[in-house]
Amino acid sequence: MTRRERQELIDKGLLLPLMEEFYTIQGEGFHKGTAAYFVRIGGCDVGCHWCDVKESWLAELHPPTETEKIVENAVKYSNTIVVTGGEPLMWDMGPLTAQLKAKGVQTHIETSGAYELSGTWDWICLSPKKMKLPTERVYEKAHELKCIIYNKDDFRFAEEQAAKVNKDCILYLQPEWSKRDKVVPMIVDYVMANPKWKVSLQTHKYLNIP
């Protein structure tokens, strides 16, 4: 296959830069504590300085993998498939989700929303970032909003984002892991004063699993 042919397949979503895939327990947000198969797609230009998967940023480091093979492997493990990154919406998610839905599984995505929404999703976790804001359509479709709290200004940002999502979207505040000792008390106080919000913790890190 030539480089041009490979790029055409990537552009169509028939090849995706697969960083890793694993079966584990969902650690965050609404579905925390439930088993799910994670597919981590490489490539992200949002650039969060506190990102804990910076090795996902460069798509070129991760082999273009046939979408069909990703699906075949994923459905062996779980009926809930979580697509994460990186930023998976940098790529066309249509072929991946179409094949997953044809297998009868649930499709979840974790995204910053910085790129146009593609694919068919049963659950959209929107985690917006200040550096590159979500598109309007992602705000409209999100099932949960997960705002990471690194400092006090992030509460202001979280409220701005909450004002843009649909009325049924569940609102979460999650401490940035390296600052958790400092910001958890702030989050607790904030949620008690503003009960439309819920607390999300990275429980998989407490469980010491992927």
Q: Which helix (H) or strand (E) holds 8?
A: helix 3-11
Ranges assigned E (strand) in the chain: 15-25, 35-41, 64-66, 80-84, 106-111, 123-126, 144-149, 170-175, 197-199
How many structural domains is the chain composed of?
A: 1
Spatial distance between the Cα atoms of 191 and 131, rounded to a whole number of angstroms: 25
**pLDDT, tens digit, for every residue of 144-153?**
999 999 999 9
Structure tokens at 21: 């895939």
Give the confidence band of 49 by pLDDT, cuts at 50, 70, 90: confident
User: Is residue 192 in a domain?
Assistant: yes
Residue 12 assigned as binding residue: no
Q: Show the domain range for 192.
A: 15-206
Structure tokens at 25: 């327990």
**pLDDT, tens digit, for every residue of 154-200?**
999 999 999 999 999 999 999 999 999 999 999 999 999 999 999 99
Residue 26 assigned as binding residue: yes
Residue 182 assigned as binding residue: no
Residue 147 assigned as binding residue: no
Residue 203 assigned as binding residue: no
Which among 18, 5, 91 has a CA at the least distance from the CA of 61? 18
CATH code for the domain of 63: 3.20.20.70
Residue 118 assigned as binding residue: no
Residue 86 assigned as binding residue: yes
User: Is residue 36 in a domain?
Assistant: yes
Residue 57 assigned as binding residue: no
**pLDDT, tens digit, for every residue of 5-46?**
999 999 999 999 999 999 999 999 999 999 999 999 999 999
Residue 185 assigned as binding residue: no
User: Is residue 6 in a domain?
Assistant: no
Give the Å distances, CA to CA, from 197 to 48, 75, 85: 23, 33, 25
User: Is residue 129 in a domain?
Assistant: yes
Q: Is the torsion defined by CA of 159, 160, 166, 167 positive or negative? A: positive
User: Is residue 2 in a domain?
Assistant: no
pLDDT at 62 > cutoff 90: yes
Residue the block writes with tokens 């990186």: 86
Give the pLDDT score at 178. Answer: 95
Residue 27 assigned as binding residue: yes
Spatial distance between the Cα atoms of 22 and 82, rounded to a whole number of angstroms: 10
Give the Å distances, CA to CA, from 85 to 17, 32, 158, 194: 10, 18, 21, 30
User: Is residue 91 in a domain?
Assistant: yes
Give the pLDDT score at 32. Answer: 97
Q: What predicted TM-score, i.e. pTM, was given to this entire model?
A: 0.96
User: Is residue 9 in a domain?
Assistant: no
Residue 50 assigned as binding residue: yes
